[in-house]
Amino acid sequence: MSMWFKEHLWYKEDYTPCSKHLRIYQLEVCRSNKSPWVCLTCSSVHCGRYVNGHAKKHYEDAQIPLTNHKKSEKQEKAQHTVCMDCSSYSTYCYRCDDFVINDTKLGLVQKVREHLQNLENSAFTADRHRKRKLLENSSLNSKLLKVNGSTTAICATGLRNLGNTCFMNAILQSLSNIEQFCCYFKELPAVELRNGKTAGRRTYHTRSQGDNNVSLVEEFRKTLCALWQGSQTAFSPESLFYVVWKIMPNFRGYQQQDAHEFMRYLLDHLHLELQGGFNGISRSSILQENSTLSASNKCCINGASTVVTAIFGGILQNEVNCLICGTESRKFDPFLDLSLDIPSQFRNKRSKNQENGPVCSLRDCLRSFTDLEELDETELYMCHKCKKKQKSTKKFWIQKLPKVLCLHLKRFHWTAYLRNKVDTYVEFPLRGLDMKCYLLEPENSGPENCLYDLAAVVVHHGSGVGSGHYTAYATHEGRWFHFNDSTVTLTDEDTVVKAKAYILFYVERQAKAGSDKL
């Protein structure tokens, strides 16, 4: 028995949870069937903290000191600390306030998981499935809406917040609404094609599997597949978050993180994993089979092209001119997104309707990014002709536009002691963002290739990068949705354009449409 479980979990060598409670997953306090968690001490089943929080209350009530003269060793250890999610089979410790990965020496946690799986696959679950179907139908009726006189259903699925994971949820929902990117992953073959006794069962991670068996691409694929299947309950990206913890140490823990930083790490690691083989199939061969991602659209980063660079990849030309001798230096840099400063003259403009001066627009931010700039004393350029650092000017040109243009507005800036947020409202177009004037050779690009339409927006609510909350707006089949963790609501264009955007995803326009340009 591991020392951790000796300290946190009272156990019996032949422990299995009570089938009477677990077979129906009916919660003992609120009688709900949402988010059931089983206590590994007494096998009682309660709802999770994102429903009514009765599982946590069960643990807290067990911590009340006993008034008896002397507690037995069994009573001391029976603190109802560890519980298991009956849906995903993950284990959580309330004392540590963290998920548990390790098992006991006798594999008791694994035995509980197997017991739960056997219950779920048994004939006794038929009644539960029937009841769930009735609940889904009644829930579906509440999510019907009128569109053009006909009744339709909201098919979007929310993402459960696992503890300050709104930054991840907002990015995942945005990427799931970039059709070409999302479809590529959903069409990939599964990593593990299970059969026989394991068919249809959920997967879960244990420490014995080791770090080498996790696949970010596979868990990302599973998450995207789950988001638009019309499920009426929020999907828990727990397995994906587990992989994120494994391969991205910066995002371990449950503190708030920067959504843009997470997006860059996610795309970079997807790109790296896609460069190798996947379930016996070369990623490059899959990419070549997709006719919509032609070679001319590929942007190589780190030596190879993947769907990440084929869709998000563009190329910048960086021109530096020495002000002393006039020597010009040119360098081409690939990019997956552009980070734009909000011009200082607009920093105090916090809302669109504020009367103090003009409204900052996305064009102002793009112009500030591409305008000629004189480098200050701290950024002197090493001129190879002068053989010394000299004053110089710098200018960016876009040499190649990506299929999906990701624009990041720099809302967080470091001061002497802390990181402040620039809360300026930036006006952005829903359609017809024209990028032609920022191209190095605009004459080589057709008019439609320079027009972009908005697909998704990530918004940060709050005052600081380490606090606040992230949500996302995205369009799907002509309708706009607002994604706020597990809650998904229909919204309209007027609401979207009023948002204080943090990250904007623009998709290259494929067909002509009458719209205004930026």
Identify the CATH number of the domain in which residue 113 sits. 3.30.40.10
pTM for the complete prediction? Answer: 0.66
Between CA 38 and CA 22 the distance in angstroms is 8
| Cα within 13 Å of Cα(186), Cβ side | 16
Would you say residue 165 lies in a domain? Answer: no
- Per the DSSP assignment, residues forming a β-bridge with 344 are none
Which of 47, 86, 93, 166 is labelled catalytic?
166
Whether 54 sits among the annotated catalytic residues: the reply is no
50 token code pair: 């994102």
Would you say residue 50 lies in a domain? Answer: yes
Would you say residue 179 lies in a domain? Answer: no
Say what the pLDDT of residue 120 is: 64
- Residue 219 is inside which H or E element, if any? helix 216-227
Strand runs labelled E in 431-515: 433-434, 451-461, 469-476, 479-484, 487-491, 501-508
183 backbone dihedrals φ, ψ, rounded to 5°: -60, -35
270 token code pair: 């997807």
Would you say residue 142 lies in a domain? Answer: no
Closest CA to 260 of 410, 395, 151: 410
Say what the pLDDT of residue 354 is: 57
Structural domain harbouring 84:
20-64+78-123
Total domains in the fold of the chain = 1
CA 245 to the chain's CA centroid: 13
Whether 469 sits among the annotated catalytic residues: the reply is yes
Between CA 298 and CA 306 the distance in angstroms is 8
222 to 120, 185, 242, 301: CA distances (angstroms): 21, 9, 13, 25
Q: Which portions of the chain are predicted below pLDDT 70?
A: 1-34, 50, 65-78, 88, 120-154, 191-213, 231-232, 277-303, 348-357, 415-419, 442-448, 465, 511-518
Which of 115, 413, 461, 469 is labelled catalytic?
469
Would you say residue 202 lies in a domain? Answer: no
Would you say residue 108 lies in a domain? Answer: yes
Would you say residue 166 lies in a domain? Answer: no
Query: Are residues 327 and 321 in contact, defined by beta-carbon separation less than 8 angstroms?
Result: yes
Strand runs labelled E in 26-168: 36-39, 45-47, 82-85, 91-93, 98-100, 144-147, 150-153
Between CA 266 and CA 247 the distance in angstroms is 10
Question: Would the CA dihedral through 344, 347, 352, 357 be positive or negative?
Answer: negative
Would you say residue 266 lies in a domain? Answer: no
